[in-house]
Chains A and B, each alone.
Chain A
């Protein structure tokens, strides 16, 4: 019985969300078509759509997409491995947790993107500096959630497993990992998001290639409708990735 108003409410809020987006579109369309907003500041949505079709048809986005995707995948894999390994070993000792948890949490709270110029100096304008920055930024949520996940496992479960003769490996595989997994998955999703954000962001600031780089180039060439088309393209990819990751997170929670 409680389900009905619940799903009705969800439907209603969905409708409001869609209406909001539609309203933005209508405003956008009116502003550029009837209210005389300069097309250099805000291109017409129809023109943007035409450009988007052109971009997708020509496949000219492929080299930049490949650069960004490679940077992102490398950074995320690096951050995940280092974050989870470091987090696990820190969680083994209460002392290390007391030392490193506040340290990592402190660094996590500062805007690491400010160090981009340093990364460019060290690693150059190419993908290496993006990978370095993305890895650093994604490392912190992952390491923090790994520490939290492993160090908050219910002691009774550990005692129970030990009393039944569990080896260290069995304790890890059958108790610690499933207990910590939901928390770690949250950290992975956060790391995923910030890695993507920081890589696209740093491409727009200092780079030689990549989707962020291309968007800035189009802006500097005043090709506003094509630039918007690229933005729509990147937003669509990011949304798709986030939905995929959230789906896997939910699945992992159920399995865990």
Chain B
């Protein structure tokens, strides 16, 4: 692909939590390089602790990598880039003391959107995710799925070219995930956003992604990239097609060995042990 089509350049990014040689230090991500095309939806999938969330944090400027660098829109990432990148977390990223509407407006306030545009953009993005009637509810009054819709609305209202999603449906039940996945596919087909989506779910990855990057066990790096050649928005019956099953099986085969490796190396330490110190 030509340079103009690349939204995100990842060059030799590696990350280590803690100092080298320390008992608690963990090499979470080994040399990883990746180009993500403009308008593409890329899924990162891999065993727990393989560094896929770490890579997402690095792209989002929430974490400075030990080595390597990331370029977004031709500029090196040195910190959060609120005008280029919006971030959706696994859960609990809505401010619980604000209503859904206030949450969306607060995002725009932080990003620096003129006040006069707040109301209109908030309404539009809440309607886009089907929460128009719940604008005045507090996050605590909503179901898990609705909270993630609200978080998506907040991210959409920022009108960034890039959306980073860190297991956004990870805490939801299977049925809710499916519906949200379908809605997301429809919603995103109408926008030109570049999306990087971290997930544990093989089905979710195949259903949503243009390409799926499969990570190896820790220290993680990209083992293989699989292309999913199916136009957006994906129809619900794509799930039952042979193409879907074949791709899912291919992913499963790739992942299976890595998950075994990850599990057997896990015994001495908690899976999030290294993630905390570097999160801030």
Contact, CB under 8 Å: B106 / A159: no
Contact, CB under 8 Å: A154 / B92: yes
* Given known A165-B112, A174-B95, A178-B95, contact A160–B86 (CB-CB < 8 A): no
Contact, CB under 8 Å: B85 / A163: yes
Contact, CB under 8 Å: A159 / B279: yes
Q: Pick from A162, A164, A175, A178: contact of B158, CB below 8 A.
A: A164
Q: Does any Cβ of B come within 8 Å of A58's Cβ?
A: no
Q: Does any Cβ of B come within 8 Å of A156's Cβ?
A: yes
Contact, CB under 8 Å: B95 / A165: no
How far apart are B162's CB and chain A's nearest CB, in angstroms? 11
The proximity string for A residues 143-175 relative to B, scoring 1 for CB distances below 8 Å and 0 otherwise, is 000000000001111111111111100100011
Contact, CB under 8 Å: B87 / A160: yes
Contacts of B221-280 to chain A: CB distance below 8 A: 279-280
Determine which residue in A154, A157, A159, A167 has the highest number of CB atoms from chain B within 10 A of its CB, and name it.
Answer: A159
Chain B contact residues: helix, strand, loop or mixed: loop
Which residues of chain B are near A102, meaning CB under 8 Å?
Answer: none
Q: Pick from A163, A167, A175: contact of B86, CB below 8 A.
A: A163
Contact, CB under 8 Å: A156 / B95: no
Contact, CB under 8 Å: B93 / A164: no
How far apart are B53's CB and chain A's nearest CB, in angstroms? 12
Q: Does any Cβ of A come within 8 Å of B178's Cβ?
A: no
The proximity string for B residues 55-79 relative to A, scoring 1 for CB distances below 8 Å and 0 otherwise, is 0000011100000000000000000
* Given known A163-B60, A165-B112, contact A174–B89 (CB-CB < 8 A): no
Which residues of chain B are near A175, meaning CB under 8 Å?
Answer: 95
Residue in chain A with minimal CB distance to B279: A155
Contact, CB under 8 Å: A159 / B62: yes
Which residues of chain B are near A256, meaning CB under 8 Å?
Answer: 97
Contact, CB under 8 Å: B111 / A164: yes
Contact, CB under 8 Å: B107 / A164: yes
> In the bound complex, what is the Cα–Cα distance between A156 and B147 (angstroms)?
15
Interface size on B, residues (CB 8 A): 26
* Given known A157-B93, A170-B110, A178-B97, contact A164–B86 (CB-CB < 8 A): yes
Contact, CB under 8 Å: B280 / A165: no
Contact, CB under 8 Å: A163 / B62: yes
Contact, CB under 8 Å: B92 / A157: yes
> In the bound complex, what is the Cα–Cα distance between A154 and B97 (angstroms)?
13
Interface size on A, residues (CB 8 A): 20
Q: Does any Cβ of A come within 8 Å of B137's Cβ?
A: no
Which residues of chain A are near B279, meaning CB under 8 Å?
Answer: 155, 159
Contact, CB under 8 Å: B97 / A163: no
> In the bound complex, what is the Cα–Cα distance between A156 and B279 (angstroms)?
9
Which residues of chain B are near A159, meaning CB under 8 Å?
Answer: 62, 87, 89, 93, 279
The proximity string for B residues 75-115 relative to A, scoring 1 for CB distances below 8 Å and 0 otherwise, is 00000101101110101110101100000001101111000
Contact, CB under 8 Å: B97 / A166: no
How far apart are B150's CB and chain A's nearest CB, in angstroms? 12
* Given known A159-B279, A160-B87, contact A165–B82 (CB-CB < 8 A): yes
Contact, CB under 8 Å: B97 / A165: no
> In the bound complex, what is the Cα–Cα distance between A175 and B110 (angstroms)?
11
* Given known A159-B62, A159-B279, A160-B87, contact A165–B93 (CB-CB < 8 A): no
Contact, CB under 8 Å: B95 / A164: no
Which residues of chain A are near B87, meaning CB under 8 Å?
Answer: 159-160, 163-164
> In the bound complex, what is the Cα–Cα distance between A69 and B110 (angstroms)?
43
* Given known A164-B82, A165-B80, contact A170–B109 (CB-CB < 8 A): yes
> In the bound complex, what is the Cα–Cα distance between A160 and B166 (angstroms)?
12
Contact, CB under 8 Å: A163 / B80: yes
Q: List 16 A-B contacts (CB under 8 A).
A: A156-B89, A156-B93, A157-B93, A157-B95, A158-B280, A159-B62, A159-B89, A160-B89, A163-B60, A163-B86, A164-B107, A165-B111, A170-B109, A174-B95, A178-B97, A178-B98
Q: Chain B residues in contact with chain A, CB under 8 A?
A: 60-62, 80, 82-83, 85-87, 89, 91-93, 95, 97-98, 106-107, 109-112, 154, 158, 279-280
Query: Which 9 residue pairs spanning A and B have beta carbons closest together?
Result: A165-B82, A163-B87, A164-B110, A166-B110, A160-B93, A178-B97, A164-B107, A165-B111, A165-B110
